[in-house]
Structure 1
Amino acid sequence: MKILLITLEYLPQIGGIASYITNTIKHWPNDNDSFVVCAPKIDDEADFDAKNFWPVYRLEPYFNLIRPRWLKLFWSVFKIVKKEKPDMIFVHHVLPIGQIARLIKKFKKIPYVVFLHGLDYGYAQTNLVKKKRLTGVLSEAQTVVVNSNYLRQRVANQFSALASKTVVVYPCSGYSDVKIDPIKLEEMKKKFNPAGRPVLLTCGRLVARKGVDMVIKSLPAIIKSRPDLLYLVGGQGKCRAELMYLARRLGMENHIKFIGFVDDSDLPYLYSLADIFVMPARQEDNGDIEGFGIVLMEASLFGLPVIAGNTGGQPEAVENGQTGILVDPMDTGQISLSVLKLLQDKELAQRLGRNGQEKAKRFIWSKELKKIFK
């Protein structure tokens, strides 16, 4: 079977969806199947695409003036369908890509599977027109794949008829086979933490939902007890400048390092040099929410105790008191107390880290992906 996968987020763009997609292809359980990817143009795409064994079509998805703007992407995808003759379409970003797949199904009789991640589902319900389009796309999908039971319940509450064809495919770590090179680890420590300070780590897109601002606001209270603490923030995003300004305004420049872009090959080493991973993600007014939080599972795989938000699908990635600590993402007091608790109680931190590692090892991509066509 040839699968055409269409997405608006794809590596080397940083983010959970882009990582989810790449791992889906790399760990696909049927070697007889093949993938073709349609994704937006992005800087450094050529180097990344050349490293992979599946073809990638890089497209400009939108018209500037013609409405609907996604019609440009439809025509491009339609040409690719005629050329590649796929047997199945995988849809990431239910709108507008779901509409494109629905039209292609009408003209070419090609079935499609919709993957919902969280923000995309919320965005598709911001007005009545989008809700109507969402209903049509999901009703005609062969399968609806969600990344958490939390999201499955949201879909079931709104579309009870979809329950029988909705499956949960949990994101898994792509680093289960990584072997840490001790020489490189020492080099990373010298680069980011030469003084050997206790390290708090966040990695991900720097957008409001991730809660980095609340961690920064928690630092003054933490620093009073642990003045040697270092907070490493890895990733890029639209909130970076705002977060850097916040750190300066609070006088935390000596306690925060903004690393910027983190290559996939370096991420395991950041997990390995950190003491605690923190990402108290929250729900935004526009519906943006953490559907699961793959970085939480990745951090657990490397034995880190995790502090996460108690919203969205995060409680499925982090078991409160067992693999980490769940906090109110808007409560700096809870965040600071949780950090200090883990720094002061080494036995607790190690126990949560061990439990999290055991849990993360049970999440295997090939096993999860088999659920799609059961």
Structure 2
Amino acid sequence: MQRKRVLILTSEFPPQPGGIGTHAYQLAHHLQEASHTVTVIADERSDSGVEEAKFDNTLIFKVQRIVKRRLRVLMYFKRLCLLFKYLPSNEIVIASGKFPLWVVAFASLFYKRQYMAVLHGSEVNFTQSLLNRSIRVSLQRFTTLVAVSHFTKSLVQDHHDAVVVIPNGIPVRQFEAQAILPKDLKGYPKLITVGNVTERKGQLNVIRQLPELIKAYPELHYHCVGLPTQRDAFEAEASLLGVLEHVSFHGRVSDMELRSFLNESDIFVMLSSPTSTGDVEGFGIAILEANAMGLPAIGALGCGIEDAIEDFKSGRLIAYDDLVAFKTSIEELITQNARYKENARSWALKHDWAVIVNRYIAVFEK
């Protein structure tokens, strides 16, 4: 196809963690590798900006950062300024994340371009009616809506005909090439969740079921890797339940350390559940990353995780609070480990970004 100039406005971007940012980075990288010209507009999220500057210098595409400010309104204004600066010279504009949807929808009133919104889940599931309505109005300004899962698509039924489902992807080669450092993780079986320690990611749902699971597996240990946002509250709950010695919070780790954690774990777990504000798991990239290293997963029904796990093959799908199903799934994945490991790797290969990016390019061509 003809080379395109693509502008991506995203609410998250590496090196800080986050699924939306990981998606935006991989999309930008693989579009640039496919000979398109990509520019990304993203926030600085560290206090100094040094971490972002070092990261941006390694990229094959251009990144424009919005400097972190105490007054958020100044950052909002800067986003608009940068968008209007780069919009005239780009043919395709992609918005990823809540605020970018509003900003790009506004900009579309002034420039006729091909506008694409990537929908992850939470940004189209607000329980607050005014926020929800503002998003629905914004979506009408986009040429194409890409949902990262069929669950996310179901959240925008009023735009159903305009929605294309393109699942999240992972750079499979990156997981195969990384050296593994020994971690010597405790426990058997070793359960692991990778993600921000929050209500949505489901760590607390796992902790609440540990008292019964430990009766069947006395040496079981649950490892939580990711930003420790609600760590104190979750540790307090584990202490009240008498299972604190079976839980470890490791905080944010490097990419190489993450591979080591996954390599030494037995089962990946993500029992996500929606929050009172409508925050919901739209897919679960971390599940595919674990699969790429041969780690099968147990994930929650009723959210985008249903697209991230091939039930009875790469792992099991269960209700997030179904203790009986959780216990039997652990037993199944342990006793049939070889089969699940092989299927998990095969499932991850189907989601390699080298494959997924072609589906975005096909949308451009239309």
TM-score (norm 2): 0.87
Structure 1 unaligned blocks of 5 or more = none
**Pairwise CA distance, 1:357:** 1.8
> Is residue 231 of structure 1 aligned with residue 222 of structure 2?
yes
1:116 aligns with 2:119: yes
Q: Does 1:126 align with 2:123?
A: no
Matched, 1:355 2:343: yes
The residue that corresponds to 2:6 in the other structure is 3
Corresponding residue for residue 92 of structure 1: 96
Residue 73, structure 1, aligned to residue 79, structure 2 = yes
Identify the residue that residue 159 of structure 1 maps to in structure 2: 159
Kept in 2: contact 1:175–1:268 (CA 8 A): no
Whether the 8 Å CA contact 1:231–1:255 is kept in 2: the answer is yes
Query: In the TM superposition, what is the alpha-carbon distance from 1:115 to its structure 2 partner?
Result: 0.6
Q: Does 1:169 align with 2:154?
A: no
**Aligned pair 1:260/2:247, yes or no?**
no
Count of aligned pairs: 355
Greater than 6 Å deviation, 4+ residue runs: none
**Would the alpha carbon gap of residues 202 and 370 (structure 1) be closer, same or farther in structure 2, given more than 3 Å must change?**
same
The superposition leaves residues 202-241 of structure 1 with CA deviations (integer Å, 9 ceiling, x where unpaired) of 1111110111111112222222232222221100142122
Distance verdict in 2 for CA 1:133–1:217, change over 3 Å: closer
Question: 51-60 or 302-311, which moves further after superposition?
Answer: 51-60
Asked if structure 2 preserves the Cα contact closer than 8 Å seen for 1:209 and 1:288, the reply is yes
Residue equivalent to 1:56: 63
Question: Does structure 2 retain, via aligned residues, the 8 Å contact 1:180–1:269?
Answer: no
Q: What is the CA–CA distance in structure 2 between the aligned matches of 1:295 and 1:281, rounded to whole Å?
A: 12
The answer to which of 4-13 and 42-51 deviates more is 42-51
Q: How far apart, in 1, do the equivalents of 2:271 and 2:103 lie?
A: 35
2:172–2:349 contact (8 Å) kept in structure 1: no
Alignment counterpart, residue 188 of structure 1, candidates 182, 188, 191: 182
**Which amino acid in structure 2 is aligned with residue 37 of structure 1?**
V
5 Å matches for 1:30-45? Answer: 31-43=34-46, 44-45=51-52
Amino acid at match of 1:342: L
Q: Tell me by how many angstroms 1:248 deviates.
A: 2.6
Q: TM-score, normalised by structure 1?
A: 0.86
Q: In 1, distance between residues paired with 2:205 and 2:134?
A: 36
- Please give the alpha-carbon distance, in whole angstroms, between the structure 2 residues aligned to 1:105 and 1:61: 26
8 Å CA contact 2:44, 2:67 repeated in 1: yes
SS at match of 2:256: coil
CA distance in 1, matches of 2:288, 2:217: 27
Alpha-carbon distance in structure 2 between the residues aligned to 1:251 and 1:51? 46
Q: Provide structure 2 residue ranges, at least 5 long, that are not aligned to the other structure.
A: none
Change (3 A) 1:42 1:177: closer
C-alpha spacing 1:104/1:223, structure 2 compared with 1 (3 Å): same
For residues 140-155 of structure 1, the aligned pairs below 5 Å read: 140-155=141-156
AA partner of residue 56 (structure 1)? V
In structure 2, the residue corresponding to 1:159 is in which secondary structure? helix
Distance 1:225 1:53, change over 3 A: same
Query: Does 2:291 match 1:300?
Result: yes
Contact kept? 1:218, 1:333, Cα under 8 Å: no
Amino acid at match of 1:189: K
| Worse-superposed segment, 114-123 or 69-78 | 69-78
CA shift in 2, pair 1:248/1:130, >3 Å: closer
Does structure 1 conserve the Cα–Cα contact (< 8 Å) formed by 2:84 and 2:107? yes
| Per-residue CA distance 1:53-109 (angstroms, 9 max, x = gap) | 22222215889486x984453234323446xx222211012x432232233233233
1:232-260 deviation digits (Å, cap 9, x = unpaired): 11001421221122223333333222111
Q: CA RMSD in A?
A: 2.6
Query: How far is the alpha carbon of 1:50 from its aligned partner?
Result: 2.1
Structure 2 CA distance for aligned equivalents of residues 260 and 5 of structure 1: 29
Deviation at 1:140, TM superposition (A): 2.2
Distance across 1 between alignment mates of 2:35 and 2:249: 43
Q: For 1:56, what is the secondary structure of its paired residue?
A: strand
1:271-323 CA-partner distances (Å, limit 9, x unpaired): 21111111111122322221111111222222222110011122222132222
Mapping of residues 215-294 of structure 1, within 5 Å? 215-294=206-285
